[in-house]
Structure 1
Amino acid sequence: MLPGQELVERALALATVDALTVLVTDTSEASLRWAGNSMTTNGVSTRRSWTVIAVHGAPAAAGVVTASTVDPDEIAAVVRSAEEAARRTEPATDAAPLIAPAGGVDQQWSARAAATDIGVFDRIADGLADGFARSDAAGSAEPQLYGFAQHEVRTTWLGSTSGLRRRFDEPIGSVEINGKRTVDGHPASAWVGAGSPDLTGVNVPAMLAELDTRLGWSRRTVELPAGRYETVLPPSTVADLMIPLLWAMSGRGAHEGRNAFARPGGTRVGERLAAMPLTLSSDPALGGLEYAPFVAVTSSTDDVSVFDNGMDATAVDWIRDGTLGALAYPRSGATEFAAPVAVPGENLALTGGSCASLHEMVAATERGLLLTTLWYIREVDPATLLLTGLTRDGVYLIEDGRVTAAVNNFRFNESPLDLLRRATEAGATERTLPREWKDWFTRTAMPPLRIPDFHMSSVSRAQ
């Protein structure tokens, strides 16, 4: 397989149109899976995806072709396909001059692709083995453990006929553990997850202890009806609710009245959205949650443009001190709507709360729910960003500052915008792994939130 940077150079050398951009991403992945207190599968794989973006004519049209081939003899065919697509298609509404190099070739451009291996799981496997042994010795008194650990390193090279040469190595790691136990004849389950770029920050013994605590809460069960409940949301649950908020922050969508950030004659930028001085931000340099500091996209949308590939990605405060601070615009959209360019972030942090921990927030609750995980989240109404979804693997009753029982599952209906408006307490921000969106978005830092009237719209019989 050709080195990624060599593939870029060979493809660019074949250009016969006005401009060409080539992106190559090599992904090295290791995975580990276990079920019923036993390791089941593990493996390491490598894959390549590369895209040619051809620009032709005035006004400019773009043709995009993505391939996974590693045969050097097929490079020309992919380039010609992209160029032919550019010649046939209509002019692009997001057309803009290609980004020119500002600081020369990235320092690591010529280095080999980064890689992972199965050894990255050594500490995790040791921690799990201790958990398996304890469970086997205690029989049904200890949980059966199921889960999945994954580590990826993605190396992306981006080059264009403008002379741009950019590269970034992006490690991503996550561990998810489900614990299942039968308590007094009733099945109980709980989930915990953690993310870390190199997995060194994952503490398996602490995760197993948290699982044991949550499963212990299930020794007593209580059936509750649908309704509105004071609810404490841990950081992982908050992340699963805030990520759809980020994805909805389209400037064009707001100007055209198609999302929750529209108002007559403009957008809601500058409007207060949260009762507390919370800040929702993305930053490619955020410690432990870094992502590529430049745009690298293979298709244009309302929020990103293939013509912006290689442009610096900078920190953005989407909500600043409770006020809507920015919406997402590519260069073309920013020019059209006289707004600042803002690149959708690949991490998300919510800050501005107190230093209170989740435990302290539970201790301060007279009666309410602790909602540990969500799943099957879907958008119901883009105009209000109303979401629906189900609870799963752990809804617990809080009474007099203590978790006293597990309760039945619910379907919920809530908008993250309304949650920010109604939240009465935010605790300390910490790195967390979303459960619902983990396959698409892992880099989050969130506080626990207190919602005085979280809407459980109906009872769910899901286990």
Structure 2
Amino acid sequence: MAIMTQSEAKALMTRVIGFSKAESIECNLNGEVSGNIRTARNTVSTAGELRDIILTVQSTFGQKTGVATTNEFTDEALESVVSRSEELAKLAPDNPEFMPILGPQDYIDVNTHFQATTDVNPAWRADAADACISVSKEQNLVSSGFLNDSDTFAAIMNSKGLFAYNRSTDINFSATIRTEDGKGSGWVYRDFHDASKMDTREASRIAAQKAVSSADGKAMEPGKYTVIMEPAATVQLLLNMFNNMGQRTADEGRSFLSNKSEEEGAPKNRLGEKMFDERVTIYTDPQSPDAPTPPFAGDGAACQRTDWIKNGVVTNMPNSRYWAEKTGVPYVPTPFAGNGLFGGNTSIIMEGGDESLEDMIKNTRRGVLVTRLWYIRQLDPQSLMYTGLTRDGTFYIEDGEIKYPIKNFRFNESPIIMLNNLEALGKPQRIQGCMIPPMKIRDFTFSSLSDAV
């Protein structure tokens, strides 16, 4: 059993806390049931399932903390992991940034679990993979893809009476479809909490169409262009920006939100400044109908909707309890997104507009349509300048029509500049757990050509 109900998780962690001899103890319980199927060259290559539960115990004496983990839940194993964490705590040095554990919290109701995803089985995955393969074979194309579904739970309990529990499901599918000669490539990605929304055949048709239409791209001169970016082309840039919005790095002069003023008494960060186009609003919301999250942070703090950027103004900055207390500002937690190597992105939501992708194309005299960006790397943390490549379908637009495919570009651009050069926004779409609108952006910088397809 890799998924525990709320009552089962609470009962187990109550047993754990009962073994504690520390001044305080916190338990984290994370369980997962997941399955996947991978395809390559129009056939299934691998498939698998994973089931596991991990208990993490954190014991504290004064400012000394020790952590131990186990996936065995007999009384003997639980007592052993608690004892081990206490031994490690006594050996640890004092933590100068230690913060005591939180007390009970009030959590809002969220809807992150869908039975349709829990019910996904190997036959369902095989049918989903076959739909992609069939679309590819019908057009003499070559496909590869990956589908992963998961049912997870996370629970937190401590000796001060805090208890948090959330169960969540997720399913995601990606496919790359290419022409047989490798000269055309299309790509698509879909993810949902609810597997009943997943249509791998419809998604694969989009990738196939882009593969056919992107073959033999023409070379264009690098430079600044008006670009229409599908959500997959901007989501990672926006996530990178959000992940660099922390208050501490700004206060310490290490981020794009650092205030460089040398005036005495000047704020150390740019909280409250208008830094983006007034149409830019980015927030997190555990109760979002399309991208819900757990209602608590990794430390158990309660989360509600938080505006990070509102009408172009930086309205909140993620911080830690320690840094909030040190600087005398409110603690602003972000929703729990998973632990360790398999932790996900924070589910950010960007408000959009009314234009469809087709409308944006019709209203463009000369520009470039970008399917996605790839191999993104940071060049400068102070300006958030990034470089990377366009991939899997890049097209030239002229007089409101897609004229022909073009060779891919390397870009050098910052999401700060990008969000100040907005011309139009479309309806937000789910991508990588986020809600991101298609965007029309002027003066996007393409620095050189790329031979990638």
TM-score (norm 1): 0.85
1:63 is aligned with what amino acid?
G
1:167 is aligned with what amino acid?
Y
The answer on whether the counterparts of 2:389 and 2:410 sit within 8 Å (CA) in structure 1 is yes
Q: What is the SS of the residue equivalent to 2:419?
A: helix
2:239 equivalent to 1:237: no
2:207 equivalent to 1:211: yes
Q: In 2, Cα distance between the equivalents of 1:262 and 1:134?
A: 50
The answer on whether the counterparts of 1:31 and 1:151 sit within 8 Å (CA) in structure 2 is yes
| Cα-to-partner distance string for 1:35-92 (whole Å, 9 max, x where unaligned) | 22223332322022221111211xx232223444566533333222322232233333
Q: What is the SS of the residue equivalent to 1:421?
A: coil
Which position in structure 2 is the counterpart of 1:257? 253
The answer on whether the counterparts of 1:114 and 1:154 sit within 8 Å (CA) in structure 2 is no
Q: In 2, Cα distance between the equivalents of 1:350 and 1:81?
A: 44
Q: Give the percent of matched residue pairs that are identical in Structure 1 and Structure 2.
A: 26
Q: What is the SS of the residue equivalent to 1:194?
A: strand
Which stretch of the first structure deviates more once superposed, 89-98 or 268-277?
Answer: 89-98
Q: In 2, Cα distance between the equivalents of 1:135 and 1:87?
A: 60
Which position in structure 1 is the counterpart of 2:171? 173
Unaligned runs of 5+ in 1: 108-112, 297-308, 434-441
* Aligned counterpart in structure 2 of residue 281 of structure 1, from 275, 280, 283: 283
2:435 is aligned with what amino acid?
A
Change (3 A) 1:69 1:157: same
Which stretch of the first structure deviates more once superposed, 285-294 or 78-87?
Answer: 78-87
* Aligned counterpart in structure 2 of residue 62 of structure 1, from 56, 60, 65: 65
The answer on whether the counterparts of 1:53 and 1:63 sit within 8 Å (CA) in structure 2 is yes
Question: How far apart are 1:390 and its partner, in Å?
Answer: 1.9
Q: What is the SS of the residue equivalent to 2:418?
A: helix
The answer on whether the counterparts of 1:29 and 1:117 sit within 8 Å (CA) in structure 2 is no
Q: In 1, Cα distance between the equivalents of 2:310 and 2:122?
A: 38
2:43 equivalent to 1:53: no
Question: How far apart are 1:323 and its partner, in Å?
Answer: 0.6
Change (3 A) 1:343 1:357: same
Alignment of 1:27-426 (within 5 A): 27-57=32-62, 60-69=63-72, 73-102=76-105, 116=118, 118-119=120-121, 122=124, 125-126=126-127, 128-133=129-134, 135-136=136-137, 138=138, 141-182=139-180, 187-263=183-259, 264=261, 265=266, 266-296=268-298, 309-345=299-335, 346-351=346-351, 353-426=352-425
The answer on whether the counterparts of 1:179 and 1:189 sit within 8 Å (CA) in structure 2 is yes
* Aligned counterpart in structure 2 of residue 450 of structure 1, from 440, 444, 449: 440
Question: How far apart are 1:142 and its partner, in Å?
Answer: 3.4
The answer on whether the counterparts of 1:28 and 1:115 sit within 8 Å (CA) in structure 2 is no
Change (3 A) 1:93 1:52: same
Change (3 A) 1:51 1:134: closer
Q: In 2, Cα distance between the equivalents of 1:314 and 1:120?
A: 36
Unaligned runs of 5+ in 2: 336-345
Question: How far apart are 1:313 and its partner, in Å?
Answer: 1.6
| Cα-to-partner distance string for 1:194-232 (whole Å, 9 max, x where unaligned) | 111122222223213322331232245211232222111
Q: In 2, Cα distance between the equivalents of 1:22 and 1:416?
A: 38
| Cα-to-partner distance string for 1:14-46 (whole Å, 9 max, x where unaligned) | 211110000010111011222222233323220
Change (3 A) 1:135 1:417: closer
| Cα-to-partner distance string for 1:81-113 (whole Å, 9 max, x where unaligned) | 322232233333443332222459x99xxxxx9
Change (3 A) 1:348 1:102: closer
Q: In 1, Cα distance between the equivalents of 2:135 and 2:350?
A: 37
Q: In 1, Cα distance between the equivalents of 2:132 and 2:104?
A: 52
2:20 equivalent to 1:15: yes
Question: How far apart are 1:459 and its partner, in Å?
Answer: 2.0
Q: In 2, Cα distance between the equivalents of 1:291 and 1:102?
A: 17
Change (3 A) 1:134 1:229: closer
Which stretch of the first structure deviates more once superposed, 62-71 or 315-324?
Answer: 62-71
Q: In 1, Cα distance between the equivalents of 2:369 and 2:75?
A: 55
